[in-house]
Amino acid sequence: MRYQICVSGAASGLSVESSHELAFQLGKIIAEKGKTLTTGATVGLPHYAAMGAFSVKDRHGVSVGFSPASSFREHVAVYRLPTKEFDYINFTGMEYVGRDVHLVRSSDAVITVGGRMGSLHELSTALESRKVVGVLLGSGGLADYVKTLLENIEAPGARDVIFDTDPEALVTKVIAALDEKYADFQHDGTDSYLEKRSTQKG
């Protein structure tokens, strides 16, 4: 299945300086595996992830950005956010806080790399929404505090959070968790599936 996997991370700060290559690798691997990368259509680590996905030649994966702006013009002129690395941009018009919720709720899984308070908002939304959650340890910022946070603050699905220090291993584990979660879902994206379901209901 073409899962939508969100890469969540800091727009600026120390973790961007130290972990931009890791974010790039996450996006690249997600695209290479034929999945859809979702990000906040912003700068920093999410932008590096989008650049990673965009760098894959003959890719089957797609890069989708969820913008806080209500239009392309506002996205560029007011928020000053990137555009060229995305196959599609969803202009949510929800500003940053609302955008975060829409982004996470529209994704099947969320991977945290680095991160600041905005990433914490996306992480908590992902946990409360029972999404598959992965954390790239060693990427600085929020990512390196998630284990401690979940050991001290009760959260739904905390025991199922996936941790790894290697981008490819982490993405592979997240996809495996999604395969298990959706094991009973056999939709192959064809009309024949829809016709079969219609016949079964009838």
pLDDT digits (tens, 9 = 90+) for 15-67: 999 999 999 999 999 999 999 999 999 999 999 999 999 999 877 789 999 99
C-alpha count within 13 angstroms, C-beta hemisphere, residue 37: 37
pLDDT at 8: 98
Query: pLDDT tens-digit profile of 95-122?
Result: 999 999 999 999 999 999 999 999 999 9
Q: Where are the beta strands (DSSP E) in the chain?
A: 4-9, 36-39, 62-67, 88-91, 109-113, 132-136, 162-164
Q: What are the tokens at 92?
A: 């949510």
CA distance 122 to 68: 14
What's the average model confidence in pLDDT over 163-187?
A: 93
Residue 44 near residue 12 (C-beta atoms within 8 A): yes
CATH number 3.40.50.450 is the correct assignment for the domain at 4-201: yes
